[in-house]
Chain A
Amino acid sequence: MGFVEAATNKSMGKVKNSRSSDTVMEIAMYAFAVIFLVILMYPLFFIIIASFSDPSAVANGQVWLFPKGFTMDGYRELLRHENIWIGYRNTILYTVVGTAIGLIVNISAAYALSRKDLFGRKFLSLFFIFTMFFNGGLIPTFLTVRDFHLYDTFLVMVLPFSVIVYDIIVARTFFQSSIPGDLWEAAQIDGCGNLRYFVQVVLPLSKAIIAVLGLWIAVGYWNSYFNALIYLKNPDLYPLQLILRNILITNQMQSSMGTGEAAQIALRLANLMRYSVIIVATVPILCLYPFVQKYFNQGVMIGAVKE
């Protein structure tokens, strides 16, 4: 393989030398790639340096590459906001419990659907897939949740919407293509039942798909605000994103402030805090990603669409 690759590169290199259009294209491509990287990264970089800078320097356009008037006041102000920490705690709880439930529900369903000897397999797949294209809509779903007395409870944040059909399809494809059918036949001869086979043989072979789905589901829970907006009333249950919305978008902090110089300072702190709160809310979920990245190459993504 290595030899073939080397040979290919060599022959491609030779041809490339004789084609100036290829060289031009190469240069243009890398130049574009660098511009693209700057456009993607700079806004994020700016938020980081702005969170450590004097807010008036930021407002006057003096902050470009390094923090100006270094300060930790934004972060210090953040520490004083009790709501944020309640939201943080709730989000961690929702993410951990929700991801566990989501993995159990979706992975087991996906495995069962991947088995060719499952009677009613076609019907059961359709049963799930239909819900991707047709649903009751906001109000009937809301009424259902309320009828089950889940409105304004912890459970509404982790249970009702834990079946994710797209994830089931992806995992099903993974099981079909990477768990050999012979394995089940061998296990069966040894007297192993479906459940034991699933837990002791299938799951250990499926770390890649568990990692990828786990990441998707966790990111979903960490970032969601819609369900909280609709199904929660009690502020003690609010997830971080809903509190962020109040701080970043509806600006609920400023309304409680007085006038005069004290208000001016408070306003500046509030602005500074908006930068730091973005970082504090985003960094934890970004940290998950590198651990899972290596599994992305296992062909999960193609499987998702190719059926």
Chain B
Amino acid sequence: MRAGQFAPGRTIGQIRRNWGLYLLLLPAVVLTLLFAYKPMYGVIIAFKDYSPASGITGSPWAGFKYFEKFFHSYQFTTTIKNTLVISVYSLITFPIPILLALMVNQMRPNRFRRFFQTVSYMPHFISTVVMVGLMMILFSPSTGLLGSLYQLFGGEAPDLMGSAGLFSSVYVWSDVWQHVGWDSIIYIAALSAVDPSLYEAATVDGASRFHKIRYIDIPMLMPTAITLLILRVGGLLGVGFEKVYLMQNDLNITSSEILSTYVYKIGLLSSQYSFSSAINLFNTVINFILLIMVNQISKKFSENSLW
């Protein structure tokens, strides 16, 4: 359907002919309206003094009161700094799955390669709760694996889970451990699409393995990598709640309180609905701006963009 061919009669005919397709879409559309778009309307409680008794529409307007309250609170710099430290740190590990994929691609397709891949995906299936539980058990300086390892060499293990200074490192590297294999699948799939004759031609021209990786494999991965990178930067302030919240304790709280855990505590644990929504909205808006900016930049300097 080109725009030039647009005719109302035809459109209605087409909708009527394809009514079955709209029926297939119906459940997803209804659920999205109810549980994604309706809460978007609820965001206005960030600008109101929300009280459950009077509801969203009935509550009086508060203007930017709650935003100012957040900007002036002592938690403002801490939570933003912690969120940024963790997400920028994670961003630095972005190339690791790519390196792994390049390596797997160099392996001959045999049993070892299959085994290697299967094992590298496995940790991905561990739940966040089990993962953090695992870390607490293994990293315990007195009874854990790490403690035993240090004892073997006559040293004393650092308390990884109870250290504010090491929090971001523990968070980021345990994530790499858990997801690097899984994250590399997409790049391995992209590499499998390389035309074998390219490698052949390169071999004839005397290219070494390294040359082939540099001039065939890496350019092949760029579009996929950039798309994923844009998505990651777009979520820079959106460090997930799940793992950080589980890893939090009194000892590391100074560097583990991030925007999403703060939103949870203010909102659900101390029932300050409007204040919590304001912090959340601030977070979402910044993410949205980042996403648009990065997409624009990528559009300008390469041909890749999300839209």
A interface residues with partner B (beta carbon < 8 Å): 4-5, 8, 11-12, 15, 19, 21-22, 25-26, 29-30, 32-33, 36-37, 39-41, 43-44, 46-47, 58-61, 104-106, 108-109, 111-113, 115, 117-119, 124, 127-128, 131, 133-145, 148, 159-163, 168, 193-195, 197-198, 219, 222-226, 230, 241, 244-245, 247-249, 271, 274-275, 278, 281-282, 285-286, 289, 293, 296-297, 299, 301-302, 304-306
Contacts and interface: CB of A to CB of B under 8 A. Distances in A.
B116 A198 contact: no
Contacts of B280: 137-139
A128 B32 CA distance: 7
Contact of A282 (B28, B125, B228, B288): B125
A296 B184 CA distance: 13
B94 interface: no
Interface string B119-132: 11111011111101
A297 B15 CA distance: 36
Nearest to A150: B35
B275 to A, nearest CB: 9
A225 B204 CA distance: 55
Given A19-B208, A112-B21, A271-B143, 11 more contacts: A8-B200, A12-B203, A33-B103, A104-B27, A135-B36, A135-B40, A140-B40, A163-B35, A245-B246, A248-B132, A301-B186
Interface of B: 1, 11, 14-15, 18-25, 27-29, 31-32, 34-43, 45, 56, 103, 106-107, 112, 116, 118-123, 125-130, 132-134, 136-138, 142-143, 145, 147-149, 151-152, 177, 181, 185-186, 189-190, 192-193, 196, 199-200, 203-204, 206, 208-210, 223-224, 227-228, 234, 241-242, 246, 263-264, 267-268, 273, 276-277, 280-281, 283-284, 287-288, 291
A32 B96 CA distance: 14
A4 B197 CA distance: 9
A134 B27 contact: no
| A interface, over-half SS | helix
A133 B133 contact: no
Contact of B18 (A39, A113, A119): A119
A219 B263 contact: no
Given A137-B39, A137-B284, A141-B39, A8 B45 contact: no
